[in-house]
Amino acid sequence: MKQLLTLLALVIYLTSFAQSNTIKFDETISSPKANLSQVSWIQGHWKGEAFGGITEEIWSPPLGDSMMFSFKLVSNGKVVFYELGGIREVDNTLIFQLKHFGNDFKGWEEKDETVDAKLVKIEDNRVYFDQFTFEKISDSEINIYVVVEENGNTEEVKFNYKK
């Protein structure tokens, strides 16, 4: 029994450590006040590697109360999937929204559904949305941390991008 409790404590510890770069939004509080100028450093054409392939994100500068982005994952010379979305300024705070598309541009989410991540907090070099974190390393490097759930398992995935 003692070994089981020790193993359970270790699993809980490692799970919390593994997801140390992202924060889950607390629904009992509101998002803090924020505007797009605080996250404008995300803009740019970013490239990296993840999921065994090449990743690319292109972020527009703030315009019209939003910053839009496109993402694609390419593996073995073929697009695996795309994402389209952005960060919108709504009610004096920010929300990160996206939609997934297969390599044939058929949507994964229903027509009127998006993946929405409310703003948790902003620090000097980090922006925390619900289970998504943007981290500025330098003017030419960022990390994006995402909690991914698959088959009942959750994992924090790090995307390292360079301009």
Q: Are 114 and 122 in contact (CB under 8 A)?
A: no
- Which pLDDT tens digit goes with each residue over 25-43? 999 999 999 999 999 999 9
How far is it, in rounded angstroms, from Cα 32 to Cα 41?
19
pTM for the whole thing?
0.86
The answer to whether the CB of 74 falls within 8 A of the CB of 86 is no
Please state the rounded mean pLDDT for residues 15-31. Answer: 81
For residue 19, what pLDDT is reported?
59
Cα–Cα nearest to 78, from 57, 96, 107, 102: 102
Which among 23, 163, 144, 8 has a CA at the least distance from the CA of 85?
A: 144
- pLDDT tens per residue, range 58-113: 999 999 999 999 999 999 999 999 999 999 999 999 999 999 999 999 999 999 99
With residues binned 3-state (H G I as helix, E B as strand, rest as coil), the percentages for the chain, rounded to 5, are: 15, 55, 30
pLDDT band for 9, please (50, 70, 90 cuts).
very low
CB 66 within 8 A of CB 89: yes
Q: Of 153 and 10, which is predicted with more confidence?
A: 153
- Give the pLDDT score at 3: 46
8 Å CB contact between 70 and 58 = yes
Give residue 16's pLDDT: 43
What integer best gives the mean pLDDT of the chain? 90
Query: What pLDDT is recorded for position 7?
Result: 37
Phi-psi region of 152 (alpha: psi -120 to 50; beta: other; left: phi over 0): left
Long-range contacts of 55-58 (CB under 8 A, 24+ apart): 55/159, 55/161, 57/144, 57/159, 57/161
